[in-house]
Amino acid sequence: MTAAETANNSDREIVIVRDFNAPRQLVWDVWTDPKHREKWFGPKGYTVKVIWSDFREGGRWEEKMIGSEGEFPYSGVYKEIVPIERIVSTDEFDETVKHSMPELPEGMVVTTLFEDKGEQTGVTVRTLHPTVEDKKKHEAMGVEAGWASTLDNLDEYLAELQK
């Protein structure tokens, strides 16, 4: 198991990289299947409810992150899907959340890459922001720590499934 690493490749992008001790197909399945996703997605202390997922290019998705501070709905559109390799999607917080929390970033495009590394699978999450300011807002929210915790949950879930 490797720790989540971050690397800012541009002034508008946040990159999170993590390797998992699981085959790429399994990692892909638990990432894309709502029944699995609800069991691991989100930082520790939060749960995620998949409202809907039309998993196809052009399809929409919506989820709600639920924690002690409340509920945070967010949604997007799948721009590109290459099975067991890549997902490109928009990612936006719900208007009600943006209204009450104007410091949230907007206009994000998330590219998730799945790489076969023999007995491991590499996952890279690249979040591109429209402006430097939006990237800074996202960093101020603790996005890197949130992704690290989320990927810890995924690592634990994958280990459970492989027992």
- Residue 80: its pLDDT value, please? 98
CB 72 within 8 A of CB 45: no
In percent, the amount of the chain with pLDDT more than 90 equals 77
Task: Report residue 102's pLDDT band, with 50, 70 and 90 as the boundaries.
Answer: low
Query: Residue 72's closest CA among 33, 38, 100, 37?
Result: 100
Task: Report residue 7's pLDDT band, with 50, 70 and 90 as the boundaries.
Answer: very low
Q: For residue 5, is pLDDT > 50? A: no
Task: Report residue 14's pLDDT band, with 50, 70 and 90 as the boundaries.
Answer: very high
Range 96-101, long-range pairs (CB < 8 A, 24+ positions): 97/72, 97/73
Task: Report residue 118's pLDDT band, with 50, 70 and 90 as the boundaries.
Answer: very high
Q: For residue 151, is pLDDT > 70? A: yes
Q: CA geometry: angle at 21 spanning 53 and 123, to 5°?
A: 45
How much is the pTM? 0.89
pLDDT digits (tens, 9 = 90+) for 29-45: 999 999 999 999 999 99
Who wins on pLDDT, 8 or 70? Answer: 70
- Residue 99: its pLDDT value, please? 53
Query: What is 102-141 written as a DSSP string?
Result: TTS--SEEEEEEEEEETTEEEEEEEEE-SSHHHHHHHHHT
Spatial distance between the Cα atoms of 132 and 125, rounded to a whole number of angstroms: 18
